[in-house]
A and B are shown apart, each in its own frame.
Chain A
Amino acid sequence: MDIAIALAVGLIAGLISGMLGVGGGTISIPAMVLLLGVEQHTAQGVSLGAMLFTALVGAFIHYRQGNVKMSMVFLIAPSAVAFSLLGAWAADKVTAEWLTRAFAIFLLIIGCRMLLFNRGGQGVSTS
């Protein structure tokens, strides 16, 4: 049963990931915590591990469709990687309870932003 849930969670996270260019962690982490009872830190670690496959495959498909701007990857990735190390280190210092709260607050902000400041009309290919 848990395996079926995990597969379904992955499938949905992947779909959203491919369509919105996100990693899918906003789907898989709450699903693991709420449905599978996984501890917050572990859910986050699993999310990052699973996301590697999603990002590799997704980036490759988008690249073939001409939708990866390599110069921007090289400009952004170094600081992104350096600061993700800092973030991952900091997460280890926080209790699971507070990490879940921080995660929920982040989701709330993102959700409000997406509803209130949603640029319309860019869905059809603009590139």
Chain B
Amino acid sequence: MKSKLIWYIATGAIAGLTAGFLGIGGGILLVPMMVGLLGLTQHKAHGTSLAIIIPIAIISATVYALRGHIDWALVATIGSGSIIGVIIGAKLMMRVPAHRLRQLFGVYAIAIAILLFLR
């Protein structure tokens, strides 16, 4: 456990840095790192990732808000939509094969990356 401490710190550092810089939660890095490096099962990694995202979101959102990079009306609308989504998603998780979802997400991510480049 103690010898692995550095891996926990590294996981947090890489996920946290990306989370703050790109405005994502960092879960997209946290989940594979916790599964691959720290030996957590896939489903436990999902729940644990969301718990770690809570303090990350509080702190980085505060920094963005202090710099004026926030739109509270959008936070409220997207936030309320996503509360409904996450309730359904978390309950569905146990029934949907995660590797299928990741395939779908992979295609989505590449398509969006191309759209952002072409913009």
Contacts and interface: CB of A to CB of B under 8 A. Distances in A.
B54 A52 contact: yes
A125 B40 contact: no
Interface string B56-97: 111111011101011110110111111111111111111011
B97 to A, nearest CB: 3
A11 B38 CA distance: 31
Contact of A21 (B14, B49, B94): B49
B46 A25 contact: no
Interface in B88-119: 88-94, 96-103, 105-117, 119
Interface residues of B, number: 100
B46 A67 contact: yes
B116 A33 contact: yes
Contacts of B26: 23, 80, 84
Number of chain A interface residues as a range: 35 or more
A123 B23 CA distance: 27
Contacts of A58: 47, 50, 86, 89-90
B65 A49 contact: yes
A118 B103 contact: yes
**Chain A binding surface, main DSSP class:** helix
A34 B119 contact: yes
A24 B50 contact: no
Contacts of A100: 116, 119
A10 B23 contact: no
B56 A80 contact: yes
Contact of A91 (B21, B38, B88, B94): B21
Contacts of B52: 73, 76-77, 80
28 contacts: A10-B77, A14-B81, A18-B85, A48-B60, A52-B58, A52-B79, A54-B50, A54-B85, A62-B47, A62-B48, A68-B44, A69-B48, A72-B38, A76-B8, A76-B30, A77-B55, A80-B12, A80-B52, A83-B17, A84-B17, A84-B60, A92-B67, A101-B116, A101-B117, A107-B112, A118-B102, A122-B99, A126-B43
